[in-house]
Amino acid sequence: MVAIRRSEDRDTTNLGWLDSRHTFSFGDYYDAGHMGFGTLRVINEDRVRPGAGFGTHGHRDMEIISYVVDGALEHKDSIGTGSVIRPGDVQRMSAGTGIRHSEFNHSAGEPVHFLQIWLLPAQDGIEPGYEQKRFSDEDKRGRLRLVASCNGRDGSVTVHQDADIFASVLNKDATVTHAIADGRKAWVQVVRGTIDMNGQELRTGDGAGAENIATLALTARADDSEILLFDLR
């Protein structure tokens, strides 16, 4: 079974400095039919105006991943991390027992466009942590590149959950496949471009959950189509 979440059906928060699209319930947006997918709890597509951002605020017991599409995102947190996240970077912040952080557009002249992704952790109360690694477009081109996993294999960042996250950049007509093991499910999020997923067309901003399907076949219908694939228990 494939359930598609169209880009235009997502909820929108527009604060002037922030334009955010919520795939699942988030903040003041509540939809009982879209509370997440397995352990995947949040996918927010955020655009932040130059010089603006999220002031210092707290999180607990969540695995938070930032994936920058365009621009640069500046991060500071209460465990002493300070960094700038750019396209190709994958940032993982484990909130655990509690962490405070801020995120701002690093540029005074260009907007930043990124995906904020939350996974429920396998265990509450872990020590807060931070990790950031880079995966170039060429590293992701024509294949599903593992960028996050529960054990950090293949150079991926480590998330404290039984989840694998893959990223791919595909030329037009290129295909990648992914086998879904028994008892697992998958979510595909189109970062940009157009993808055919098992005969279903997905466009920029669309997402789709797959359950009780053995294999996903993902074919690009436009050059430089970019996707994230979540393999979840």
In CATH, what number is assigned to the domain containing residue 189?
2.60.120.10
The domain tally of the chain equals 1
Say which DSSP state 27 is in: T
Tell me what pLDDT residue 229 has. Answer: 98
Q: Count other Cβ atoms within 10 Å, centred on residue 138.
A: 10
Q: Kindly report, residue by residue over 152-190, the tens digit of the pLDDT.
A: 999 999 999 999 999 999 999 999 999 999 999 999 999
Q: How many CA atoms lie within 13 A of 63 on its CB side?
A: 25
Tell me what pLDDT residue 72 has. Answer: 98
Q: Which of 106, 114, 119 is nearest to 59 (CA)?
A: 119
> Does residue 31 surpass a pLDDT of 90?
yes
Question: What distance in Å separates the CA atoms of residue 198 and residue 105, rounded to the nearest whole number?
Answer: 37
Contact 115, 67 (CB under 8 A): yes
Residues above pLDDT 90, as percent of the chain = 100
pTM: 0.97
Return the C-alpha torsion angle 1, 39, 168, 150, nearest 10. Answer: -130
Tell me what pLDDT residue 160 has. Answer: 98
Domain hosting residue 155, numbered range: 2-232
Tell me what pLDDT residue 1 has. Answer: 84
Tell me what pLDDT residue 3 has. Answer: 95
Tell me what pLDDT residue 147 has. Answer: 98
Q: Kindly report, residue by residue over 8-27, the tens digit of the pLDDT.
A: 999 999 999 999 999 999 99
Tell me what pLDDT residue 224 has. Answer: 97
Average pLDDT of 181-204? 98
